[in-house]
Amino acid sequence: MKTLALVAHDKKKDALITLVKRHEKTLSAYKLVATGTTGGRIREACPKLDISTVKSGPLGGDQQIGALIAEGKVHGLIFYLDPLTPMPHDVDVKALMRLSAVYNIPMALNEATAEHLLSGTSFA
């Protein structure tokens, strides 16, 4: 079973949960891993999904997911960034995105891209 990582900044958590609810059937085919608060909120909203959590992003969760990517244990990333809010752990966020690019895994950084990945629609 492939693993998909789910991460969302505070102001984007509700939007990610809405996406997960909308695509719960599709996501049930994956093992899910999420940063602390995001994972807890997803578990509450969709208790049937197989989701495990790591630490909160600023406390090392972004790095934990990055390590899983480097180990080949995460096969895709949906990371709802909040581009308008400063992040004290910006360097961790950049490292996570870098590892996703280095290991060539699908990475959605916004709702439009996540929708395309999960619904299988084309760009044409």
pLDDT in tens, 92-112: 889 999 999 999 999 999 999
Share of the chain above pLDDT 70, in %: 97
Order of all β-strands in the sheet with 107-108: 51-53, 31-34, 3-8, 76-80, 107-108
pLDDT confidence of 85, banded at 50, 70, 90? confident
Residue 74 structure tokens: 């995460």
- Each domain of the chain, given as residue ranges in start order, spans 3-118
Q: DSSP letter at 75?
A: -
Is 62 tagged catalytic?
A: yes
Bridging pattern class, strands 31-34 and 51-53: parallel
Residue 7 structure tokens: 């991460």
- Residue of 62, 82, 90, 92 with catalytic role: 62
What is the distance of C-alpha 14 from the center of its chain?
A: 13
Class of domain 3-118: alpha beta
Share of the chain above pLDDT 90, in %: 84
pLDDT in tens, 44-53: 999 999 999 9
